[in-house]
Structure 1
């Protein structure tokens, strides 16, 4: 059954109420036609609850806009949803990735995440390519996808709204990796389900690193918004050098937009539930709205919290990652870099959930607290314990 307007409606009920289901919910394909976005194919999802989100086919099927009943969930940066043909991946010493950085979700990978890095190129057996140079967060997020399908899938009286596609990152004498992505939501609900497979289609042994940069904006992010996570220990903070408290912004409670704010990044070691799932949320108690991300610990063993609280760029990032914040070289040295042989793959299952009222917020907070009581201090002691990630090498 589909929950619409406070009623459980069968497929027949819905058909009797309108000439097309698209009056209530659906998926449609469109093309953006102005400014830096011109030419990008985009899928618009409406679940029937007041939830609307868009998927950029030509930017790795990442989720761009997201709103619930007029309240923005996702983040729009000054860069806009730039057409991939305008991307400057290797510019500005590797930081030009930031000129295409916007949206609720930006995928990072497929063979590199985090800051710039040069790695040995010997696995590709090509003499002139002695090193592989990586810019910030990898190439995948600005590669156009191949749309293999989208639409409505009726399963009895339930309707699944979905899309699927393939994004290829490949070169001669180098990696040939493929991202196969499916996004779906049951009509009448607020749970967006993301299923990714990263496959090595090439015949070279190839490294794989993966991260989602999930960016929550105002009004979910606002003064006194709270970050909730089942934190066993706070491992690391990028700003913990000479003055950990310099900006007087801790990890738990967010301030209003700040002038001259320097980004802060934390790594938390999180606890999974009995099913291996890890929930993290940002909630705005005053508005009764929140956003929860649920990942799997065996797929994303690491979690970062990104605070970009600068006026005009105000965002909070939830970042599940395959690797520690220590970076690419450290992952190699520690034997924690994933290597994929031909046809080998890794799978990632993630849920984005809109917490629509105070009851949903309370339920999420209780679920998280049942796993671990996060530190009560704004500036907890940092353990420095980057737990070894097994099963790799």
Structure 2
């Protein structure tokens, strides 16, 4: 299908309200477990549209390209934030999936307890609401095609640590991509531990039997190799399989990857489904996010793979401290992170993306 390109003539003669083309619409859910949760629908005007859950760390839940869903959603769905759901495996009770769940800001991994405190799965940030700083709408008549939403999420307590995430999610009208720019700042007066992981959850129909999981780099299985049937030498871990009975319940496999970079220091990963002619690319800077985790959970009715750039794999704060890799942000110190998600459709665009992964 040929797509109509937007021209200045269209803007000046055909369009009264730019919302007819796309933009950002905020709302509040009014039913179910997510009742009273603030959201923002973002429409790029290309078929790519997605939902930012303002009250859940500005994570991204629904994401569609034309008729195709890109994201996996769990049975949990969207729930209202649970800021004190940080013990043991409580995090799983509010893990609705979605295109992006942010893990951190000070712990990424399973539950643990030591002399530095008690930490539940994957930290607090995805259960904290944002304070919206700005929403910028596109204005094609004024020559502005960019749009963005910016908010601040605070992971803090009296006497610290006090970390703040300033997140901007942005895009350009007429282009099928999502930009994420994050800045993590230590607002306290003592050093603060810092770990961050972007838990991208891809689902059907983008993820389907025979679809290709694309990444490059040296890897190791998360668990004892004898416990892995997929992530082992000779294993076919780059193709999505049919649902597996062995992945019912909590069955899963995970690989920790040292991702390869291109000439500009950028890492690229993603997924391609040739049946529907669609691919999703995730781009990030290795200097900022040196690790990639691939989670595969092929349960019946719970069919998902995760591609997860991070400052660390999900090893937990205690292990990172033991290895000497735990980041300590000094008072006032900040770190920035930049990621881009791109949708590729059409033979030429998909092949250009795939050419970055030589057989």
Q: How does 1:264-283 map to 2 (within 5 A)?
A: 264-283=253-272
Equivalent residue number for residue 240 of structure 1: 225
TM-score relative to the length of structure 2: 0.93
1:7 is aligned to: 5
- Given candidates 35, 43, 46, the residue that maps to 1:46 is 43
Residues 1:362 and 2:351 are matched in the alignment = yes
Shift of 1:149: 1.2
Alpha-carbon deviation of 1:86? 8.3
1:100 is matched with 94
> Of 108, 111, 123, which residue of structure 2 is paired with 1:116?
111
Tell me which residue corresponds to 1:144: 129
Whole-Å separation in 2 of the counterparts to 1:333 and 1:88: 26
**Counterpart in the other structure of 1:207:** 193
Give the secondary-structure state (helix, strand or coil) at the position aligned to 1:42: strand
1:180 Cα shift?
0.1
**How many angstroms apart in 2 are the aligned matches of 1:45 and 1:277?**
26
Looking at structure 1, the residues matched to 332 and 338 of structure 2 have their Cα atoms a distance apart, in angstroms, of 19
Report if the CA contact (8 A) 2:103-2:122 is conserved.
yes
| CA–CA separation in structure 1 for the residues paired with 2:158 and 2:357 | 46
Q: Per the alignment, do residues 57 and 171 of structure 1 end up closer, same or farther by CA in structure 2, a change over 3 Å counting? A: same
After TM superposition, the score normalised by the length of structure 1 is 0.85
- Residue aligning to 1:345: 334
- In the TM superposition, residue 19 of structure 1 has moved relative to its aligned partner by 2.0
Residues 15 and 34 (structure 1), Cα distance of their counterparts in 2 relative to 1, 3 Å cut: farther
The answer to whether structure 1 residue 219 and structure 2 residue 205 are counterparts is: yes
2:292–2:307 Cα contact (<8 Å) kept = yes
CA distance, structure 1, for counterparts of residue 107 and residue 136 of structure 2: 32
Which of 212, 216, 220 is equivalent to 1:230?
A: 216
Q: Partners in 2 of 1:36 and 1:335 — Cα distance?
A: 40
* Root mean square deviation, CA, Å: 2.1
1:184 matched to 2:179? The reply is no
Equivalent residues of 1:178, 1:200 under 8 A apart: yes
Counterparts of residues 15-26 of structure 1 (less than 5 Å): 15-26=12-23
Q: Which range moves more in the overlay, 319-328 or 266-275? A: 319-328
**For the residues of structure 1 that align with 2:44 and 2:230, how far apart are their CA atoms?**
42
Query: Aligned residues, how many?
Result: 352
Secondary structure of the equivalent of 2:307? Answer: strand
2:119 pairs with 107, 129, 134, which one? Answer: 134
Matches within 5 A, 1:296-375: 296-369=285-358
Q: SS of the residue aligned with 2:245?
A: coil
Q: Which residue of 2 aligns with 1:376?
A: none
Runs of 4 or more consecutive aligned structure 1 residues displaced over 4 Å after TM superposition: 153-156, 245-249
Structure 1, unpaired ranges of 5+: 122-131, 374-393
The separation in 2 between residues aligned to 1:344 and 1:31, in whole angstroms, is 34
- Distance in 2, Cα, partners of 1:279 & 1:76: 24
> Pick from 59, 63, 68: which aligns with 1:71?
68
Shift of 1:332: 1.1
What SS does structure 1 have at the residue aligned with 2:357? helix
Q: Check 1:264–1:14 CA distance in 2 against 1; reply closer, same or farther (3 A cut).
A: same
State which of 27, 30, 34 in structure 1 corresponds to 2:31: 34
Q: Distance in 2 between matches of 1:60 and 1:333?
A: 29
Residues 249 and 255 in structure 1, CA contact (< 8 A), matched pair in contact too: no
Q: Distance in 2 between matches of 1:312 and 1:174?
A: 41
Q: Which moved more, 1:17-26 or 1:58-67?
A: 17-26
The SS at the match of 1:363 is helix
Residues 155 and 163 in structure 2, CA contact (< 8 A), matched pair in contact too: yes
**Inter-CA distance 23–175: structure 2 relative to 1 (3 Å threshold):** same
Q: Is the 8 A contact 1:75 1:104 kept in 2?
A: yes
